[in-house]
Structure 1
Amino acid sequence: MDWGKGILLTIIAFVGFILTLVVISVRQDDIHLVTENYYEKEIKYQDHIEREKSAAALDREVLVFDLASKSMILDLPVGAKGSLQLFRPSDARLDQILPLDIKSEGKTTIPLEKLKSGYWRVQLTWTENGVDFYEESKITL
């Protein structure tokens, strides 16, 4: 075999490899963005920072994960309203948003045993006495 055939076979193998990668990437259907409205959330990011600062200034721990019972424990006062987002970074189809409206004294328990095991980000957004708050917890079930 001479140099010309070797170069030709190398180019053909390279083109075949690239075409294989293109076909594989086109066939993927489970690619998920972190959020659907990314740009809109980016514009409102300063509000998000203010909510985090407000939550950090509280004298209580609002969002606690109990591994033994596989549940989130929320320490929110009566009248607090908001939402608890269960965010699965690896699969957006498993994400859930639970509305919150606290009507009784004491801590609220949210069971998580029905969730698929793995890494989750729990994002709590709530309003208390006219002030907005945000707290996040990373858990592994």
Structure 2
Amino acid sequence: MDWGKGIILTLVVFGILIISMVTICVRQDDIHLVTQNYYEEEIKYQDQIQKMINASQLDHEVLIYDNQQKIVDLHLPVGAKGTVHFFRPSDARLDQKIEFDISDAAVNSVDVKSLKPGYWRVKLTWVENGTAYYQEKKITI
């Protein structure tokens, strides 16, 4: 084989490699953003910081995960309202949001047995006595 054929063969193989890589990248459908409205949430982040400061000033743990029973306990007083967001970083299709309104102090837990095993972030946002709070916990189911 002479130099000309070797160069042509190398360029053809390189072209096929590039075309196949582009095809693979275009066909992927499991790429998810952290959030759909990223820029809007970035602007509102100062409010989020204030909510986290409010939660850090509490004298008790609000969000507790029990790995044995597969439940998330919310230690909130009666009258607290908010949202529990189960966020799966690897697949946004598995995310779940649960609205809650604590009307009975004895009933304040969320069963997570139905969630797919793996790494989750539990994002708890609530309002208590007119003050907004936010707490996040990383769990493995």
SS of aligned partner of 2:69: coil
Shift of 1:68: 0.4
* Unmatched runs of 5 consecutive residues or more in structure 2: none
Structure 2 Cα separation of the partners of residues 57 and 107 of structure 1: 24
Asked if 1:130 corresponds to 2:107, the answer is no
**1:47 CA displacement:** 0.6
Residue 73 of structure 2 corresponds to which residue in structure 1?
73
Match of 1:93 in 2: 93
Mapped contact 1:76–1:107 kept (Cα < 8 A)? no
TM-score with structure 2 length normalisation?
0.97
Distance in 1 between residues matched to 2:61 and 2:106, nearest whole Å = 13
> Distance between the aligned counterparts of 1:58 and 1:77, measured in 2?
12
Q: Which amino acid aligns with 2:99?
A: P
Indicate the residue corresponding to 1:12 in structure 2.
12
Q: Does the CA contact (< 8 Å) of 1:75 and 1:106 recur in 2? A: no
Residue 74 of structure 1 contacts residue 107 of structure 1 at CA under 8 Å; is this kept in 2?
no
- Output the amino acid matched with 1:59: D
Aligned length: 141
Identity of aligned residues (%): 57
Give the corresponding residue for 1:121.
121
User: Could you say which residue in structure 2 is the equivalent of 1:83?
Assistant: 83
Q: Which runs of 4+ in 1 moved over 2 A?
A: none
Query: What displacement does 1:106 show?
Result: 4.3
State the AA in 1 paired with 2:120.
Answer: W
Cα distance, 1:17 vs structure 2: 0.2
